[in-house]
Every structure is written in structure tokens, then in C-alpha cells.
Amino acid sequence: MARSKRVRRRPLIYIFIVIGLAGAAAAWWLLRGKEPMTFVRYEEFGIDMPVNYSIHGIDISKFQGNVNWMAVRQMQVDEIRISFAFIKATEGISRQDGTFQRNWEKAKEAGVIRGAYHFFYSTRDPIKQAINFRNVVQLESGDLPPVLDIEVHNNQPPAVIRSTARIWLEDMEKAYGVKPIIYTNIHFYETYLGKEFDDYPLWVAHYYQKDKPRSARNWVFWQHSDIGHVNGIRTTVDFNVFRGDSTDLLKLCIP
């Protein structure tokens, strides 16, 4: 009988180390909520699109000029099309976007789910800012909740920014019966707003790094580019994705 070869067995401690490292890596990914983010270049849109998300949209103001909403809605590349749009309505206590009413009506006619936003200043009376918005925007069933666009501090301390923002948000909720959406970037949110606003849906701007926003709290919309192109709009336009499917988007809208 031939002599059998001796098998060298690794000490159990090495096995435990490997298992431990694998478990730690898995836990790290779970805790961060990290999923591989895939961007695909679409020349038709002029940008790299995060294809992990199925619901895409834009946000516009008077700077996009005269929008052909039917062309916006009819454009489709692969499975990507524009399903929703946030439209600037008001700013401060007296300014209204000159293209809002037309955009508001034409977006609905084209079948685009619409939302209206207000550019907020913590140095202005929040009640008067709320009145400005309510005088301009008539939200209907199927529209997205009102949006507080809060991204400038105007040298105000966080306590002032939080208190004035809270007044506007609470006024909107009373007026329209839904919780408003907050639009900002992660740095502003964490510096000036913080945990007491975590119960509001968050629309986050994050487009200078090719990755999804990194935040300790969940976000609902992600503005991932400010240089996109779409049929029906001559200028560049902001692109967004919704974190969910079409059913989730409709649930967020006004009943």
C-alpha cells in the first residue's frame, strides 16, 4: 500500500478570522445601506443616469423658458422617461415665477405628475412667505406635496432657520392636508435643520460626486444632475430620481 500524503490543516483560528472578516464586511454594507450604484451614459439626455431607479423627473423655473411639455413627456430612451416635475412657484414674500401658471397647467395636460416649490429665506417673515405660496398654488388630487426649497442661511443661526422653516412647513400642512417636502443638500440639512425635521420627506441635491447621497436619514427624491437635456426644453435642466416605484409615488401625492 502506498503511503498517503499528509494533509496540512489550517488552525481553526484562521477559519474564524476569515468568517469574522466576511461578517464584518457584510454588516458594514448593511449598516450603510450601500448598494452598487450603476450609472449609464445616455447621449440623448446628455448625462450619466443612475439606472438603479425606475422613476425619473426634472425640476424647472423661468430659466428653462417656454417648455413643450408634450415633448418632455413623450421622450423615452430605453425605459427612461420623465414621469414627474417640480416647478418653481414663489420666492420670499412677494416674488412669483413668471412661467409657473403655464408650466403648472401644461404639465398636467401632458400627464406629468407635478409639484410646486417655494424658495425660502429665513430672513423673511415665514407666514408672509406661506401666504405668497398659497396665493399662487392650487394643489389638486394627484399633485405632489408642496416643497420648501431651503438652501441659503443668510448668516442666520441654526435656531432661527429651524424656527422659521417650521412655521412655513406647519402652515403648508394645515393648508393642503399633507406633509410638505424639504429640498436641500446634506450639509445644509445636517448643519441647520437636523433630526427634528426627520419626519418630513427629503428631496436631496447631490450631483458633484458620482454616487447616491450619503445620509443618516432616508431621502425620497435625489437631484443627481444640473446639466441634463430633454426634448421640449432648450436649456439644461435638473434631473431627479424617485426612491420607489410608481405606486409609491402615487401614495406620496395628494389624495
Q: Which residues are catalytic?
A: 151
- Residue 232 · residue 66 · CB < 8 Å: no
DSSP assigned state of 63: G
- Residue 234 · residue 216 · CB < 8 Å: no
DSSP-derived secondary structure for 199-249 = TS-EEEE--SSSS----SS--SEEEEEEEE--TT-SS-EEEEEESS-HHHH
CA–CA separation, 57 and 47 (whole Å)? 14
- Give, for 24, the enclosing helix (H) or strand (E): helix 12-32
Neighbouring-strand partners of residue 91: 95, 119
- Residue 116 · residue 137 · CB < 8 Å: yes
Three-state SS for 58?
strand
